[in-house]
Structure 1
Amino acid sequence: MRVAAAFAALVLLAACDTGTEERDAVASTRTVQRAYMPVPPGTVPRGASAQAAALAPPGPERMPALLARGEERFRVFCTPCHGVSGRGDGPVVSRGFAPPPSYHEERLRSLAPEQIVQVITQGKGRMFPYADRVLPEDRWAIAHHIKELQARGIGAASGQESAKP
């Protein structure tokens, strides 16, 4: 009887072993925790060079398909704040958010597409970055759509509308 009890106790104790020798490096979710290792000098993280190349000016050629894609992505990501016409009168403004500047202000009309892509990527002022939401090629498409809105004068204040070149 004592032998059976000792054997049962031994089996129970063996079942409690988690199988990890270094308990300090294992979290409760059993994920191994490792210290942060910075990227060694002179190296590029995987995928970073392709993304940098996709964001490099002058970007893709301005074509009807790119403008159509830009309009579609603009409606998805930008109209909640900037509005369909780019005047800064999107639906969130009517709910108490501060209005963004109009794309038809002279200061924003002078921006090049690569500067607009940079703002979409890094954010500016109250606008947070969209790099994790909008693909690089879609950022270019949105930038070209914004320039198209500005060129057509859609949403410009009366008396400031410009004709399409």
Structure 2
Amino acid sequence: MRGFLLIFVLASIVIVAICGFRGEHSPRTPWEIFPDMVRQQKVRAQSPIDFFGDGRGPRLPIANTIPIGYEMPKPQLKTLPGVPPTANAPRPEPASNRIGFSVGTDYYNTGKMGNNWGTGIPVPVTEQLMQRGQQRFNINCSVCHGLTAAGNGVAKLYGLNTVATLQDERIRKMADGEIFNTITNGKNTMMSYGGNVPVADRWAIISYLRALQRSQNAAAADVPPEELAKLDKAEAKPPEAKPGASPEAQKK
């Protein structure tokens, strides 16, 4: 027992002598198994660093790059003071065209009308908007949801079986504002796209999605009468007879 106590005391003295008392100040860097983050190489505010050639720590943004969550502002049109804009002169762009990501609390930026999800596209639905929506949908959404929004994207081939089909009756009846919120903040296994897809593109995607849902669940009554007549005429037309092969071709 005495031997154990003697060894314990000696070991304690050695440990204290090597490590020092807790709280003791020393100008020397302490021994560290893993380097402390305080002393790791990193850029400090307003401090030099030898990592860059010019020795400056703070850096300017790289040319022609956009940080995630921001969009480069479009050039604003200036009018001379005292000169009223003419009918043919270009006018300044509205704020909704200049602000790329959600910054407001209105329906356009949140999808909410008061405490409820709103319904309706808050921008003019034009051919250009639909084309933009198709492009953005194919880039951001079709990987999981498929090109027809049926939930059969390429991600399903790699084991992601929880992808929802956007052709489901529940989602077809879902408010536009709730879909906007899902794109912005994500839901369940779907990640948030609020930092990747600008507000205007989210509404373009929703517009195109509504067209996809309509196309995959359309009825004959949805077709304009003149177009329906063309379809009926095409179906009633007998197939054209194709000329048979010549005897020489049959021999070959």
Residue 162, structure 1, aligned to residue 181, structure 2? no
Tell me by how many angstroms 1:50 deviates. Answer: 6.7
Secondary structure of 1:51's aligned partner: coil
Q: 2:185 aligns with which of 122, 127, 131?
A: 122
| Partner residue, 2:67 | none
Q: Which runs of 5+ in 2 are unaligned?
A: 1-37, 47-98, 112-120, 224-252
Greater helix fraction, Structure 1 or Structure 2 = 1
Tell me by how many angstroms 1:107 deviates. Answer: 0.4
Residue 51, structure 1, aligned to residue 114, structure 2? no
Tell me by how many angstroms 1:59 deviates. Answer: 2.0
Q: Which runs of 5+ in 1 are unaligned?
A: 1-23, 33-46, 154-160
**CA 61–96 in structure 1, closer or farther in 2 if over 3 Å, else same:** same
Q: Distance in 2 between matches of 1:124 and 1:151?
A: 24
| Partner residue, 2:202 | 139
Residue 29, structure 1, aligned to residue 43, structure 2? yes
Larger radius of gyration: 2
Aligned 8 A contact 1:86 1:149 in 2:
yes
Tell me by how many angstroms 1:51 deviates. Answer: 3.0
Deviations 1:122-153 (A, max 9, x none): 11111111011001000000011111111111
How many residues get paired? 120
Q: Distance in 2 between matches of 1:141 and 1:48?
A: 13
Aligned positions of 1:66-77 closer than 5 A? 66-77=129-140
Residue 113, structure 1, aligned to residue 113, structure 2? no
TM-score, structure 2 as length reference: 0.43
Aligned 8 A contact 1:120 1:131 in 2:
yes
TM-score, structure 1 as length reference: 0.63
**CA 48–88 in structure 1, closer or farther in 2 if over 3 Å, else same:** closer
C-alpha RMSD over aligned residues: 2.7
**CA 50–115 in structure 1, closer or farther in 2 if over 3 Å, else same:** closer
Q: Distance in 1 between matches of 2:123 and 2:182?
A: 17
